[in-house]
Amino acid sequence: MDQQPLWRPNEQQIADANITGFMQRATRFTGRAIDTYEDLWNWSVDDIEGFWSLLWSYGSVLGDRSADVVDGADKMPGASWFPKARLNYAQNLLRRRDELDALVFWGEERVRRRVSHAALYDAVSRCRQALADAGVVQGDRVAGYLPNMPEAVIAMLATASLGAVWSSASPDFGVEGVMDRFGQIAPKVLFCVDGYYYNGKVIDCREKNRELAARLPELRRTVLVPYIESGADPYQLSHGVPWDEFLAPFDVDEIEFVQLPFDHPLFIMFSSGTTGVPKCIIHSAGGTLLQHLKEHMLHGDIKPNDRLFYFTTCGWMMWNWLVSGLASGA
């Protein structure tokens, strides 16, 4: 059967594509002809130091890179990427401060919100201060039991700005499924939601929140985000506080982004749990940022002010991938 592509880019689209510009820069950088995708792929595996060094520059990564790109490149596992670099993942996602949309949120047909880049920065600033006031420091774990909503992004970026480690689960998970995950990482702060909407129905999470918070002994704060406006009493939760009250004592201030090693833990994700308790999988700040920049800018051709959508919950790694689109200006 003769199969034809469903779509082909025209010549102008090819010329304007990020990957075309990257190949042109790679040609100048290397002195070798990199004119096709195959040329680019061959160079990326023949000269991994050159490829990732150029990608750091092309992605305008904020941080101190230093000269070293990789130690032990032939070791898997064991290679050490950008061993002397220092950066902060959240800083690279919050570089814009304008009034254009950073987040556009629709909660089925019930809730619609827009958050500008400036408003996102301000909210992260206040949430960061609140987390620090709760005792969160570099290396601590912060967990979200939240839908894919603006507060999840704000809490994650505030966590990362401090050098703490974020992990999240979707509120459709049962308590045992969440405990299988969060019970391993001892979060100091838990963000949860009073409920969510699914297929036109209102799903109440109050009882699950109470049980979960009571079973996480290291918690210092359980922050309740009102979404379904259930009238839930956050003070019935262990160390409970409403979202607005958690942020209320703090004014917007310039964020002091903790500069961290390239391999500093950023996210704890989990295996599926099909063969026992889900296994923790740690993703580093620098590796996550660079890989997502590559996928978004080169493979996805994402440019500033583009709209990026992926239908996902906070319990899937695609949520983390989606939020990183802010680093490309989307």
- Give me the half-sphere count of Cα atoms (radius 13 Å) on the Cβ side of residue 198: 11
What is the pLDDT averaged over residues 8-15?
A: 95
Q: Which residue(s) pair with 167 in the sheet?
A: 143
Q: Enter the pTM of the model.
A: 0.96
Residues 85 and 290: beta-carbon distance below 8 Å = no
Among the listed residues 81, 85, 75, the one whose alpha carbon sits nearest the alpha carbon of residue 51: 81
Predicted local confidence at residue 305, as pLDDT: 96
Residue range 90-328 forms a domain whose CATH class is alpha beta
Lowest mean pLDDT among 44-53, 71-80, 208-217, 219-228: 71-80
> Which residue has 């966590």 as its token pair?
159
Can you tell me the distance from the alpha carbon of 55 to that of 21, in angstroms, rounded to the nearest whole number? 12
Specify the range with the lowest mean pLDDT, choosing from 141-145, 172-176, 228-232: 228-232
Q: Dihedral through CA 94, CA 117, CA 251, CA 265, nearest 10? A: -30
Q: Return the number of other C-beta atoms located less than 10 Å from residue 266's C-beta.
A: 25
Residues 269-328 pLDDT 10s: 999 888 889 999 999 999 999 999 999 999 999 999 999 999 999 999 999 999 999 999
pLDDT over 90 for what percent of the chain?
Answer: 91
Average pLDDT over the chain, rounded to an integer: 96
Q: Look at residue 158 in the predicted model and tell me its pLDDT.
A: 99
Q: Is the pLDDT of residue 145 over 80?
A: yes
pLDDT at 196: 94
Rounded to an integer, what is the distance from CA 24 to the centroid of its chain? 30
Report the SS3 class of residue 142.
Answer: strand
CA distance 207 to 145: 13
C-alpha–C-alpha distance, residues 111 and 104, integer Å: 11
Q: Structural domain boundaries of the chain?
A: 11-85, 90-328
Q: Establish whether the linkage from the previous residue to 83 is cis, with ω within 30° of 0.
A: no
CA atoms within a 13 Å half-sphere pointing along the CA-CB vector of 256: 4
Q: Per-residue confidence at 104, pLDDT binned at 50, 70, 90?
A: very high
Answer whether residue 1 shows pLDDT above 80.
no
pLDDT of residue 66: 85
